[in-house]
Amino acid sequence: MSRVSFIGIVLVLFVTGCVASTKTVQPSLSAPTAIIIAENPPACAEANMIYHSQLHEVLLTGCRQTSPAFVSGNGVNVIWGRNGQQWHRVTEGGPPLLILGGTAYDEKRNVVVLYGGYSLEKNKCERETWEWDGQTWVKKEAESPAACDHLKMVYDASRGEVILFGGGDENTNLRTEMWSWNGTKWTLINHSEPPGRGHFGFLYDDTHQQILLYGGLADQVLDDFWTWKNGEWQKINFPGPGPLSHLGMALHGNALIIFGGATSTSTLSSLSDKTWKLTGGAWSELKLENHPSPRGSPAMVYDPEQKKIVLYGGVAPNRTDLNDTWEWDGNQWHCIVNCK
């Protein structure tokens, strides 16, 4: 894939580069306390959202305002939390604030794992692995995966490890490797398929103990659907939403929900406001009166305590980053914060 195709229309959505890491340890500047001061995250796209079962909160990482007027400077790394009622700062400090990296919550070891990401300030991506245990950020000394940005990560409960797939390297090559992280080292576990890509849907299905992957961007917008289970990829061959990148994807019970995304390589002009649902082996486009506006790269995750999918932000067709919060209750979208 060429550098031009990665940079494309929106600078923040298509950037590459990397650097080797060394070991340091930095404490977080603040740790979770019983006192919660409500504060909303900044408008942003390409952030990661995970659910932290010990904190009982949805966590948002990698959220930096990235609209054209705000592309310089990294700012402070902040983890934002939502407890079902309000957003607040959980902690800040540790690694630099990067975009297009991966985040996962390792439930077995009770740590948040961050890897990779792009620095607009340094014009390169970082090959660094960080962990946050609720009190302290630690930069891990480990040989890094081949990709350094545009990648995705999930926690695979069946393996008890964090899994990384896809993304690009310093030469803008899209990677096909799959890696696992056990807290000490990265291990290559697959390198043949699916084809390399960025901006794809990627999550862990705990009910069926499998990883799901949909779509993404390579030289074209992709529409393939894959499952990873028992150490093997399997391509699922039935019609879906069609070519889609920069999508939001999350599970609600046995239903897979996809929202938004781009349907062509003309990313901004093709952004969607459609909601798709996969259940019973069939996809359906939901005709909803109330739903989020067209956008790409929203953060989405399921909150098991609230029994709702949380959606935050994304980029609008006019290149503006969004700061609205929506919830999906299984039947409808409801705007919760910054509704317009």
Residue ranges covered by each domain of the chain: 3-337
| C-alpha closest to that of 146 among 18, 22, 291 | 18
105-118: per-residue pLDDT in tens? Answer: 999 999 999 999 99
Q: Is the pLDDT of residue 198 over 70?
A: yes
Buried-state track 130-154, b at ≥16 Cβ within 10 A, e below 16: bbbeeeebbbbebebbbbbbbbbbb
Residue 148's pLDDT band (cuts 50, 70, 90): very high
Place of tokens 């003309």: 266
Total residue length of the chain: 340
Sign of the four-CA dihedral 88, 92, 97, 99: negative
293-302: per-residue pLDDT in tens? Answer: 999 999 999 9
Residue 171's pLDDT band (cuts 50, 70, 90): confident
- The whole-angstrom separation of Cα 123 and Cα 73 is 10
Phi and psi for 328 in degrees, rounded to 5? -110, 120
- The CA–CA distances, whole Å, from 143 to 159, 198, 222 equal 20, 22, 30
303-330: per-residue pLDDT in tens? Answer: 999 999 999 999 999 999 999 999 999 9
The percent of residues above 70 in pLDDT, for the chain, comes to 87
Q: CATH class for domain 3-337?
A: mainly beta
Query: Which residues of 166-316 form beta strands (DSSP E)?
Result: 178-181, 186-190, 201-205, 210-217, 221-229, 232-235, 248-252, 255-259, 275-279, 282-286, 299-303, 308-315
